[in-house]
């Protein structure tokens, strides 16, 4: 399935680092879903900006961060490593584990970070990168912020699609597929 602007993404329930679960149902309010991980230099470069968005929009927007990487291929992305980062206070919103990669596949996530913003009606309103420059903190996740500001104001997102940039999701190897190919 390819998730396009205006489509309703699938719901999910995933375990959270630090305990508990998070449930996403389209239509439960404006939600930012970020596919991220522990090891990718792009995800790490944008990490603080994404945490600041979660803090700045608390009470108006839900932010969920998901790690879908195969930890046998990238041990730094194990649930234990996720929990260590969570315990260290590295996350301002739930950090979720997609162990079987079903959510990443259903959402057609390809890189870390890959940002999806769902509007209050439950439709995809933005897909892409946090901002235009992973190595410039002053960019301040401006593409996420602009999309959220548009949605909060009741407007359509002015720039609904940008090009996500990051490390490819580390897919589990399936019979007949080579490492790195998308199932």
**Count of CA atoms in the C-beta half-sphere (13 A) of 152:** 14
17 in any annotated domain: no
Q: What pLDDT is recorded for position 109? A: 98
CATH of the domain at 67: 3.40.30.10
Q: What is the pLDDT along the chain (183 residues), one digit of tens a residue?
A: 689 999 999 999 999 999 999 999 999 999 999 999 999 999 999 999 999 999 999 999 999 999 999 999 999 999 999 999 999 999 999 999 999 999 999 999 999 999 999 999 999 999 999 999 999 999 999 999 999 999 999 999 999 999 999 999 999 987 555 445 444
52 in any annotated domain: yes
If one counts the domains in the chain, the total is: 1
Q: What pLDDT is recorded for position 180? A: 53
Q: What is the CA radius of gyration of the chain?
A: 15
| CA–CA separation, 145 and 124 (whole Å) | 15
The pTM of this model reads 0.94
Q: What pLDDT is recorded for position 1? A: 61
66 in any annotated domain: yes
Q: What pLDDT is recorded for position 13? A: 97
Domain housing 119? 40-168
57 in any annotated domain: yes
């Amino acid at each position: 399935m390819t998730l396009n602007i205006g489509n309703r993404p699938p719901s999910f329930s995933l375990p959270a680092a630090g305990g508990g679960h998070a449930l996403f149902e389209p239509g439960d309010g404006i939600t930012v879903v970020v596919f991220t991980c522990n090891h990718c230099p792009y995800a790490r470069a944008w990490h603080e900006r994404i945490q600041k968005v979660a803090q700045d929009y608390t009470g108006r927007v839900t932010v969920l961060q998901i790690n879908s990487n195969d930890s046998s291929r990238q041990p730094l992305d194990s649930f234990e490593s996720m929990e260590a980062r969570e315990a260290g206070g590295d996350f301002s919103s739930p950090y979720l584990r997609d162990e079987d990669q079903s959510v990443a596949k259903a959402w057609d996530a390809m890189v870390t970070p890959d940002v999806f913003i769902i509007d209050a009606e439950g439709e995809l309103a933005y897909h892409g990168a946090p901002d235009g420059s992973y190595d410039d903190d002053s960019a301040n996740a401006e593409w996420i912020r602009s999309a959220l500001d548009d949605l909060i104001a009741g407007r359509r997102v002015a720039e609904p699609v940008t090009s996500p940039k990051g490390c490819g999701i580390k897919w589990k190897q399936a019979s007949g597929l080579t490492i790195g190919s998308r199932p």
